[in-house]
């Protein structure tokens, strides 16, 4: 069966069929996947039995592995051993062994965010593979930040043009960092353009999220909060979303520059085990940067 591309929603996501990603890849297939990824921001591969090495080899077909700027693992973290794991993998899991978590981002809902936007060189992409899934929930939702920008009224585009936003992340998945409790310097943070230009497609994408975007520079706190809420109505619009219901053996790869993602709640007492690798990225290009304007 030749490789084929099947859109998952009108705005974002496509399923790739006809390729076994555990095996060495045909460069022609890699080119098809790369183009589909640029076109759809998120790619899904179903029914892929992958160990850690096979997943890492697949990720490497798209670039350099991403580093970790922040250790998300708690201090009592217990990393498992065996073919499902290796040192470059990050486990996203609520499983505890001997009372110690084996993964990060353990329980429940997670608000919309861009991975690593609080770093000066955010990872370009994340590759999440499902090993165990709960009976309901734990769905990952993706929203197209190209579509969100296109849908803004011109007046809102004008109000955000040229602005930067403070991105920060601490330990919580469903609330922002409270800077009345935590000094800014104690938290991973970075000022980023509110609208970026994608380095390969040249298109504009909104770069704010409910979890990680804290403050728009040059506005009062109240103005900043109000403008962020206005933007969230566009970035979280269900009309530009794909919601993935996981089955074991799914791999999702997403572009962190043109999509945001969130996770729905799921039962605490059921096991969820995902394995994640990332691709390294570069400093984010502001949409208004003339040197790179398309
Ligand atoms: C992540 C993430 C969501 C999920 O790994 O960056 O946001 O569904 N995961 O676990
Ligand atoms: Mn994430």
Q: Please, which pLDDT band fits residue 49 given cuts at 50, 70 and 90?
A: very high
Residue 13 placed within a domain = yes
Q: Domains in the chain: how many in total?
A: 2
Helix (H, G, I), strand (E, B) or coil at 221: helix
* Shared domain check, 184 and 69: no
Given a cut of 90, is residue 87 above it in pLDDT? no
Ligand with an atom nearest the CA of residue 252: 1
Locate the ligand 1 atom nearest the alpha carbon of residue 272 and give its number: 10
Helix (H) or strand (E) holding 287: none
Find where tokens 């943070």 sit: 189
* Shared domain check, 216 and 168: yes
- The pair of structure tokens assigned to 176 is 């922002």
Residue 285 placed within a domain = no
Residue 257 placed within a domain = yes
Cross-strand bridge partners of residue 129:
251, 275
pLDDT in tens, 131-163: 999 999 999 999 999 999 999 999 999 999 999
Integer Cα distance of 113 and 93 in angstroms: 18
* Shared domain check, 138 and 253: yes
Q: What is the pLDDT of residue 131?
A: 97
Distance 149 CA to ligand 1 centre (A): 23
Ligand with an atom nearest the CA of residue 246: 1
Given a cut of 80, is residue 60 above it in pLDDT? yes
Locate the ligand 1 atom nearest the alpha carbon of residue 104 and give its number: 5
Q: For position 51, which CATH number holds?
A: 3.60.130.10
Q: What is the pTM of this model?
A: 0.95
Residue 80 placed within a domain = yes
Please tell me the residue having the least CA distance from ligand 1 atom 6.
Answer: 115
Ligand 1 pocket mutation pick from 42, 126, 141, 212 by most atoms within 8 angstroms of CB: 126
Locate the ligand 1 atom nearest the alpha carbon of residue 126 and give its number: 6
Q: Cβ atoms within 10 A of the Cβ of 261, count?
A: 24
Q: Considering only CA atoms, which of 159, 158, 264, 168 is closest in space to residue 208? A: 168
* Shared domain check, 212 and 67: no
Ligand with an atom nearest the CA of residue 278: 1
Q: Please, which pLDDT band fits residue 71 given cuts at 50, 70 and 90?
A: low
Find where tokens 């007492």 sit: 269
Contacts of 262 (CB under 8 A, 6+ apart): 109, 110, 111, 112, 113, 140, 141, 143, 211
* Shared domain check, 274 and 220: no
Integer Cα distance of 275 and 161 in angstroms: 37
> How much is the mean pLDDT over the chain?
94
Q: What is the pLDDT of residue 230?
A: 98
Strand pairing class (42-45; 14-17): parallel
Q: What is the pLDDT of residue 2?
A: 95
* Shared domain check, 257 and 157: no
CB 135 within 8 A of CB 270: yes
Residues with CB under 6 A from ligand 1: 92, 105, 110, 115, 126, 128, 140, 261, 263, 274, 276
pLDDT in tens, 240-275: 999 999 999 999 999 999 999 999 999 999 999 999
Locate the ligand 1 atom nearest the alpha carbon of residue 90 and give its number: 5
Q: Which domain holds residue 212?
A: 145-235
* Shared domain check, 156 and 32: no
Given a cut of 90, is residue 291 above it in pLDDT? no
Residue 110 placed within a domain = yes
Distance 260 CA to ligand 2 centre (A): 8
Integer Cα distance of 264 and 230 in angstroms: 22
DSSP 266-278: --TTS--EEEEEE
Q: What is the pLDDT of residue 244?
A: 98
Mean pLDDT of the 108-127 span:
97
Distance 73 CA to ligand 1 centre (A): 14
């Amino acid at each position: 069966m030749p490789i084929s591309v099947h859109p998952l929603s009108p705005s974002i996501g496509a399923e790739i069929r006809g390729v076994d990603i555990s095996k060495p890849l045909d460069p022609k297939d890699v080119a098809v996947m790369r183009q589909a990824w640029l076109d759809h921001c998120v790619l899904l591969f179903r029914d892929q039995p992958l160990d850690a090495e096979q997943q890492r080899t697949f990720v490497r077909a798209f670039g350099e592995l991403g580093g970790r700027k922040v250790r998300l693992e708690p201090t009592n973290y217990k990393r498992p051993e065996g073919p499902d794991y290796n040192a470059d993998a990050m486990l996203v899991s609520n499983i505890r062994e001997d009372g110690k978590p084996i993964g990060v981002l353990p329980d429940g809902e997670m608000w919309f965010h861009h991975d690593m936007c609080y770093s000066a060189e955010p990872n370009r992409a994340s590759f999440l593979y499902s090993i165990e899934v709960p009976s309901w929930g734990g769905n990952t939702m993706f929203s197209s930040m190209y579509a969100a920008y296109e849908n803004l009224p011109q007046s809102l585009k004008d109000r955000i043009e040229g602005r930067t936003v403070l991105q920060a992340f601490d330990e919580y998945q469903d609330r922002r960092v409270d800077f009345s409790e935590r000094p800014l310097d104690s938290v991973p943070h970075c000022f980023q353009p509110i609208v970026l230009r994608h380095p390969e497609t040249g298109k504009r994408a909104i770069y704010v999220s409910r979890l990680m975007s804290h403050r728009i520079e040059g506005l009062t706190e109240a103005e900043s909060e109000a403008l962020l809420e206005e933007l969230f109505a566009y970035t979280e619009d269900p009309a530009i979303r794909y919601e993935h219901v996981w089955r074991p053996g799914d791999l999702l790869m997403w572009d962190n520059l043109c999509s945001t993602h969130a996770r729905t709640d799921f039962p605490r007492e059921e096991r969820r085990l995902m394995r994640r690798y990332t691709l390294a990225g570069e400093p984010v290009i502001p949409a208004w940067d003339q040197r790179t304007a398309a």
